Amino acid sequence: MIQNEVMTEIYLDNNATTKPLPEVVEKISIAMSKAYGNPSSPHRRGDISRQLLSEARRQVANLIGCMEEKIIFTSGGTEANNLVLKSFCGNTVPSRLVTSAVEHSSVLKVAEALKDEDVDILPVDSNGRVEVDKLINALKKPASLVSIQYANSETGTVQPVEEIGNICREHNVLFHVDASQVVGRISIDLGTLPIDYLTFTAHKIHGPQGVGAVAIKSNNSLGSVFYGGDQEQGIRPGTENIPSIAGFGVAAQIREQTMPNCINTMRKLRDIFERLVLSSVPGAMVNGDIEHRIPNSTNIYFPNVEGMAMMAQLDAEGICCSFTSACVSARPEPSYVLTAMGLSEEKAYSSIRFSFSILNTEEEAVLAANRIGNIYAKLAGGMHQASGMA
């Protein structure tokens, strides 16, 4: 009985990816079997695919409050970010990028590829928020693009994007926001926000992996990273991935229709879990901004234990969580996000991210917190004994 309980999997790594909803899986299956025509073909089989493509574009646009013709589908958030940044930075035309030290690797790797004089990387405060005065100072020099994430994947900290967007407007600079961790977790109306380019992905809202989007505000345009046909307004050429795009559309529609309930559910589960963990682990602390964060995430520092050792124990007991972002987790290095916030390498190594979804339950939140408390007690006790023996 105890063994079965231990092996029950509790998936708390939803900032890395989420499990596709049954409706999404069904839609993908239908699209693969029925909509196999090329949407650029003029015959009836192509028309079926075109209809699915149009339907999904409308569903995705509705989720974020923009016009459907402003949605460009991509292979995911990474390509979407690269598409925007490379349209303005690193070309033969003089360009300058302003971004932050806690961005996703798909933004920071582009920044690294630029010459030092072509990029400003802004620091963040101890909560992980961009220091706005530093942004204003950086924009005293001409810039092509400001790229600041809506929320961080490791801490869940939400940036003051509306304030940053207004600053960009005042300085006549385009503003890109990586919203992969926010779309479907915070209500967004792109029509009212001072954002020029919004990038996001399907697999954070229970859609399929391998499909994302760029939402282009107003009359702005983008260049093309590569060249080919006229698909996606010629910005992202190549035959569209109709099954995944259709799945994206269904996931977006479901989330739009259930948004308030989804937000409340995730926040409730996160708060129950966080409260229990903090009460059972002496000295444990939440990293990031408690007030300004997405509702499903918590990043917790566990004193006097190694995060990797604790994660191994958690995995053995069926709890799926993360040491850092999935895109850099293979590296044996402390989280660059946490160290940018001022945490020591030791504290960064001892911090773990837990992220919930609407598929989690209150029972799972309580059970996971209890398991974590027990595992921590064993690890901390073992390390204390080892220290005493030394």
Task: Please name the residues in contact with 290: beta carbons below 8 A apart, sequence gap of 6 or more.
Answer: none
At residue 198, the 3 state secondary structure works out as strand
Cα 9–Cα 14–Cα 17 angle in degrees, nearest 5:
105
* Distance, CA of 161 to CA of 175 (rounded, Å): 9
Return the closest-CA partner of residue 176 out of 150, 207, 138, 155.
150
Cα 321–Cα 327–Cα 330 angle in degrees, nearest 5:
75
327 is catalytic: yes
Task: Please name the residues in contact with 374: beta carbons below 8 A apart, sequence gap of 6 or more.
Answer: none
Q: Which residue has the tokens 């339950």?
A: 361
Length of the chain: 390
**Cα 111 to chain centroid, rounded:** 19
CB atoms under 10 Å from CB of 91, counted, come to: 11
- Give the orientation angle of helix 242-280 with respect to helix 22-34, to 10 degrees: 160
Token readout for 100 is 């932050």
Q: Which residue has the tokens 């919930």?
A: 356
Q: Which residue has the tokens 């204390």?
A: 384
* Distance, CA of 232 to CA of 222 (rounded, Å): 11
Return the closest-CA partner of residue 356 out of 254, 259, 256, 270.
270
Strands (E), 103-259: 119-122, 145-147, 174-178, 197-201, 212-216
Residue among 89, 168, 262, 327 flagged as catalytic: 327
Contact yes or no for 198/214 (Cβ under 8 A) = yes
**Catalytic site positions:** 327
